[in-house]
């Protein structure tokens, strides 16, 4: 397995595994026994980087990941997140964000128990809390690092100025945000800033929530509980218009005897050597398909073809519902 280094020295597999979809979001939760088996197969296939969060469930995803990785804990890096106002006893979502230092520390203790571990490799702030100075947040994580309960500090969906302020208090190892051929906004300011600061980048939804696999079109019906039913970018009209993007990826994939998903991931990997995408899946054959992207070499001509073809396409629809965008501050 090829590896990459995030920030100030965290070496992980060049592709990680996003575990969120195993317990929620894309319809009903997957079978727990099957997901534990798949996480362990991912490790056998070389994956060493696993992503979860207290908010996924809440709590159910961390418990699943913890159970799956407990026998091989020393062979992997686990990333989880704090930042939402969730009751630590009941799991009730009280709405909004909560990054008060005392809450961060309580969330971390609870996460350590659910993950069956004595340390968290990357602890991300899931969303910036406008009510708490980012310096206080970074200071709380710095304390946890000093205690050995956390190894690295991460931020998710944060703006460049906020990242800089946090990094000055406690070096940030990785920033997590959406990035793919379906959403290229990070290229404008975020990626140059991370490069200057020496911070790694962990793109979530690297396959555009499944759209870049080529398996979704305007006629696709999602399960009732699937969040894509509420995303403007996944309205039937937007999907129909956005197929032009998929067709460009598919053209390259056919020539390279690869799949659209593999091309989309290989494109991401080619953007910077410190980018580690975390595609998620609940299907073993998709996991192995995604890992195949690590063996796919896109030539400069391939990359130029993709960029030329996609540069004239304006992706239709917002990437998230309006309420979520407001919470993200983006």
**Annotated catalytic sites, by residue?**
56
3-state secondary structure of 218: coil
Q: Phi and psi at residue 79, in whole multiples of 5°?
A: -115, 135
Buried b (16+ CB within 10 A) or exposed e, 62-72: bbbbbbbbeee
- Count CB neighbours of 91 within 10 A: 13
- Cα–Cα distance list, 218 to 164, 272, 318 (Å): 41, 32, 16
Q: Phi and psi at residue 94, in whole multiples of 5°?
A: -90, 0
Q: Report the candidate in 101, 121, 100 with the shortest Cα–Cα distance to residue 111.
A: 121
Pairing type for strands 93-97 and 84-86 reads antiparallel
């Amino acid at each position: 397995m090829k590896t990459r280094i995030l920030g100030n020295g965290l070496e992980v597999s060049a592709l990680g595994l996003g575990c969120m979809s195993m317990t929620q979001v894309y319809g009903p939760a997957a079978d727990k026994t099957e997901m534990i088996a798949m996480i362990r197969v991912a490790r056998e296939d070389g994956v060493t980087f696993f992503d979860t969060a207290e908010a996924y469930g809440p709590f159910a995803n961390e418990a699943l990941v913890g159970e799956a990785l407990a026998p091989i804990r020393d062979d992997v890096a686990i990333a989880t997140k704090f930042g939402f106002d969730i009751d630590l006893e009941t799991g009730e979502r009280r709405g909004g964000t909560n990054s008060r230092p005392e809450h961060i520390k309580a969330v971390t203790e609870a996460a350590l128990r659910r993950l069956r571990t004595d340390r968290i490799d990357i602890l991300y702030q899931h969303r910036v809390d406008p009510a708490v100075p980012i310096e206080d947040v970074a200071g709380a994580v710095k304390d946890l690092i000093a205690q050995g309960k956390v190894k690295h500090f991460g931020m998710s969906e944060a703006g460049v100025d906020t990242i800089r302020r946090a990094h000055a208090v406690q070096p940030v190892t990785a920033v997590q945000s959406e990035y793919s051929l379906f959403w290229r906004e990070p290229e404008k300011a975020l990626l140059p800033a991370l490069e200057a600061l020496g911070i790694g980048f962990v793109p979530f939804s690297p396959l555009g929530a499944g759209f870049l696999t080529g398996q979704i079109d305007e006629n696709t019906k999602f399960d009732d509980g699937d969040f894509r039913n509420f995303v403007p970018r996944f309205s039937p009209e937007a999907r129909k218009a956005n197929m032009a993007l998929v067709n460009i990826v598919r053209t390259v994939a056919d020539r390279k005897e690869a799949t659209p998903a593999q091309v989309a991931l290989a494109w991401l990997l080619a953007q910077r050597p410190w980018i580690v995408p975390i595609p998620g899946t609940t299907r073993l054959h998709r996991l192995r398909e995604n890992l195949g992207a690590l063996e796919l070499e896109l030539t400069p001509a391939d990359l130029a073809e993709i960029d030329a073809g996609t540069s004239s396409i304006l992706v239709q629809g917002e990437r998230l519902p309006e309420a979520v965008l407001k919470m993200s501050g983006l």
